[in-house]
Structure 1
Amino acid sequence: MQQFSSTHWIRRHAAKLAIVSLALVLMAPLAACGGSSSSGTSSGRVNLTFWSWVTGIDKSVADFNSSHPNIHVTVANVGGGTTEYDKLYTAIKANNEPDLGQVEFQLLPTFETTGSLVDMSQYGANSLKDQFVPWTWNQVSIGNAVYAIPQDSGPMAMYYREDIFKKYNIPVPTTWAQYADAAAKLHAANPNEYITDFPPKSGGWFTGLVWQAGGQLFGINGQSWKVSINNPQSQQVASYWQDLLNKKLVKTELDFANAWYRDLQTGAVATWISAVWGSGTLSSNAPQTAGKWRVAPIPQWQAGQNVDGNWGGSTTVVFKNTQHPKE
């Protein structure tokens, strides 16, 4: 088990920024693949705008700008997640999107279907394939077409309140069966406390759990989409959580909302099945619980397994409206 602390969060955060920096650095050589016909400034420098909500990414971009004097990237934080996406959809309709944008893996197909993304394979993007783990590259490519460069990923884990588990003498679960047993014991000991929250509108979270169970909701079959929402693994995950819901052993607050933050702060929930970026959410929104959280591997469907899912993770896309696609 690993203790959660501010130092731990900084290390996690720094790693993410390093990956973002790597993505920017890897994209730079694409400009050289076909020369540059971009107008840029009178000094020859190309100016690009990058929409992103990652805290501290401006520092990574500053490093990139320092090492690439002929390209200057300006970061604009227009809001995180859905807020940025809504503005991007509006910008796409108005042909006024930025040069670059941060798009999470699960939203990438939606943006690709708008026809607004540059296929970077024509600028040599496939030469970068071996610098990423296969599944992340599969998320950004269709056949030989490459519609984004991976930024980071979100391996899942279980954050838990060590003090609550010790208070009620409940072992930290390592399997989903043990997790359900811990949920029953905790709620029986204190009806005001729950093992966790089941966020009813968090599709990315649920998809990550299906992933861990070995299921895949969507895929490609030749030139067509393959949809398998009701695959056996998806039904297994849904049935598991439905059982906890029927027994009223989990809460059902919307995640990343005020009531949900309050539950994290007050101890109304004892665990959060999240991704590695979750430590930043806890430190920022539940400061009174600092030092009480620990992190453990996500529970397994079978004892002794070591299988993970993914929730989140982002990419950098280039929009067709840019005047500098090669850069």
Structure 2
Amino acid sequence: MKARSMKAAVALAGAMVSMALVASGCSQGADTADGTPAVTEITFWSWLRASQEVVDAFNKTHTDVQVKFEQIPGGAEGYGKLTNAVKAGNAPDVATVEYAMLPDMLAQGNLQDVSGDITDLVRSKFPAPIQELVTLGGKTWTVPLDAGAMVMFYRKDLFEQHKIAVPKTWDEFKTAAAAVKKADPKSRITDWNQTDSANFVSLNWQAGAKWFGIQGDSWKITLDSPSRRRSPGTGRA
């Protein structure tokens, strides 16, 4: 992929969804007779719903870059198709890749380094922990899609009824939990779903824990770090 085409693909990624640049080459014609740049065509694969509508909106507002979209299956079937396309030399320029699948796609040699093409606008829109999810080996391999915030809803009427202050910190949460149980011995402030890994992962990340990373040429796994033991998700409320 040429430099101008790479920047166009990164711009597309920033405007649309999280995409890793899959190793391939996008088409770019020669300049027109009057010297203006020819239209760059980028191929984009994704299983995300409404992607075609997003592509249509992008194409309407960009004259120098046009996107050709193809819907692919989600899950293992979709990643298998991407991997096979890379091996066959006809992979898309841009594709959706989940955060958790990024290391595997990188290990297979399916991605291009986009470190030099990530703009300050992209960096400013995502916090450092999200940027770290797309940075491996000191290089950036994709543009982030989003950051799924974890929120907790509460019964305002019950808190007001028992005159319990809504907690804003984990220390206050612990105090409020005791107050809820005292006000109604059959009640609890919340319930930690033992089958929902997202809660535990998010709380561990908030506490500063890193379960895995890269050390030299190997993976480093750390599941029992001090940060993990401090995580509020490891105890009962």
- Shorter chain as normaliser: what TM range? 0.5 to 0.7
Query: Root-mean-square deviation (CA), in Å?
Result: 4.0
Query: What is the aligned partner in structure 2 of residue 128 from structure 1?
Result: 118
Partner residue of 1:141?
A: 135
Q: Is the 8 A contact 2:41 2:66 kept in 1?
A: yes
- Contact between 1:126 and 1:144, CA under 8 Å: does it hold in 2? no
CA distance in 1, matches of 2:234, 2:62: 52
C-alpha distance in structure 2 between counterparts of 1:223 and 1:129, whole Å:
28
Q: What CA distance in whole angstroms lies between the structure 1 residues aligned with 2:195 and 2:97?
A: 19
Q: Secondary structure at the match of 1:72?
A: strand
Q: CA deviation at 1:208?
A: 2.1
Query: C-alpha displacement at 1:171, in angstroms?
Result: 1.5
* Partner of residue 108 from structure 1, selected from 102, 105, 113: 102
Query: Which of 67, 74, 98 matches 1:72?
Result: 67
For 2:110, give the aligned amino acid. Answer: L
CA distance in 1, matches of 2:158, 2:72: 37
Matched, 1:23 2:14: yes
What SS does the aligned partner of 2:223 have?
coil
Offset, 1:161: 3.0
Select 1:209's aligned residue among 203, 214, 217.
203
Q: What's the counterpart of residue 146 of structure 2?
A: 152
SS of structure 1 residue aligned to 2:97: strand
Shift of 1:153: 1.9
User: What is the aligned partner in structure 1 of residue 214 from structure 2?
Assistant: 220
**Are the structure 2 counterparts of residues 49 and 214 from structure 1 closer, same or farther at C-alpha, using a change threshold of 3 Å?**
closer
Q: CA deviation at 1:38?
A: 6.5
* Equivalent of residue 112 in structure 2, options 114, 119, 125: 119
> Does 2:45 correspond to 1:50?
yes
Matched residue, 1:263: none
Aligned partner letter, 1:50: W
Q: CA deviation at 1:228?
A: 1.7
Change (3 A) 1:25 1:91: closer
**Structure 2, gaps ≥5 residues long:** 1-10, 30-38
* Structure 1 position 111, deviation (Å): 3.2
Structure 1 position 234, deviation (Å): 0.2
1:194 Cα offset (Å): 3.8
**Structure 1 unmatched ranges of 5 or more:** 1-19, 79-83, 250-327
Question: Whole-Å Cα distance in 2 between the matches of residues 173 and 141 of structure 1?
Answer: 34
AA of the residue aligned to 2:117: S
Shift of the 236–99 alpha-carbon distance from structure 1 to 2, 3 Å rule, reads: same
After TM superposition, give the deviation of residue 156 of structure 1 in Å.
Answer: 4.1
Q: Contact 2:28–2:40 (CA<8 Å) still a contact in 1? A: no
1:86 and 2:76 are equivalent in the alignment? yes
Give the number of the structure with larger relative contact order, counting CA–CA contacts within 8 Å between residues 6 or more apart.
1
- 2:170 aligns with 176
SS of the residue corresponding to residue 118 of structure 2 reads helix
Aligned partner letter, 1:117: N
User: In structure 1, what residue type is equivalent to 2:45?
Assistant: F
CA distance in 2, matches of 1:95, 1:201: 35
**Counterpart of 2:117 in 1: which secondary structure?**
helix
When Rg is computed on C-alpha atoms for both structures, the one with the higher figure is: 2
Alignment size in residue pairs: 204
CA pair 159-94 structure 1, distance change in 2 beyond 3 A: same
**Secondary structure in structure 1 of the residue aligned to 2:220:** strand
Give CA-to-partner distance per residue, 1:181-239, whole Å, 9 cap, x none. 33344355263x543332334434322212222222222323332222111010122xx
Q: Secondary structure at the match of 1:160?
A: coil
The Cα offsets for residues 14-37 of structure 1, whole Å up to 9 and x where unpaired, read as xxxxxx97614799xx9xxxx954
Contact 1:106-1:204 within 8 A present in 2 as well: no
Deviation of residue 135 (structure 1)?
A: 4.4
Q: Secondary structure at the match of 1:159?
A: coil
Match of 1:198 in 2: 192
After superposition, residues 27-46 of structure 1 pair within 5 angstroms as 37=27, 46=41
Structure 1, 99-108 or 218-227: larger mean CA deviation = 99-108
